[in-house]
Amino acid sequence: MAGGEDWIELKFRLADGTDIGPSKYNQSMTVSSLKEKIISQWPKDSENIPKTVNDVKLINAGKILDNNRTLAESRLPVGELPGMIITMHVVLRPPTLDKKSGNCLYTFLYFFLYCNVTLTIGFQ
């Protein structure tokens, strides 16, 4: 690929309907590196903020992207339309249990909270 064709414009739709981006990313970037950038741009006022790339799943065209692959290897639809922005959906991993307090730490898609010990919905 030559010049501008090495770049792809992406935006990321969070579960609450807000977006991160759009921004341009090099297609040689790994999905894991992309997730690190997303985490660094995550809204600071968000109730649930991912801490590691393993907390985040990126979904494009119904497929979960593999951390070890590049954007080019992930076969994103590139160049179909000039100036096209690809929207990916961002899903946080299912809730885990804080062993000290018994509260859920993460939310799942659309903020449904599932926890064996406690169901917490934004209040303590």
User: E strands within the chain?
Assistant: 7-13, 19-26, 56-60, 63-64, 86-92
**Distances from the Cα of 69 to the Cα of 7, 28, 30, 32, angstroms:** 16, 9, 5, 8
Looking at the structure, give the CATH architecture of the domain made up of residues 3-93. Roll (3.10)
**Greater model confidence, 2 or 91:** 91
Which amino acid is it at 38?
I
Q: Across the chain, what does the average pLDDT equal?
A: 76
pLDDT band with cut points at 50, 70 and 90 for residue 112 = very low
Tens digit of each residue's pLDDT (9 = 90 or more) over 35-80: 999 999 999 988 888 989 999 999 988 889 999 999 989 876 654 5
Instruction: Using the predicted structure, report yes or no on whether residue 97 has a pLDDT greater than 80.
Output: no
Domain range annotation of the chain: 3-93, 95-124
pLDDT of residue 82: 62
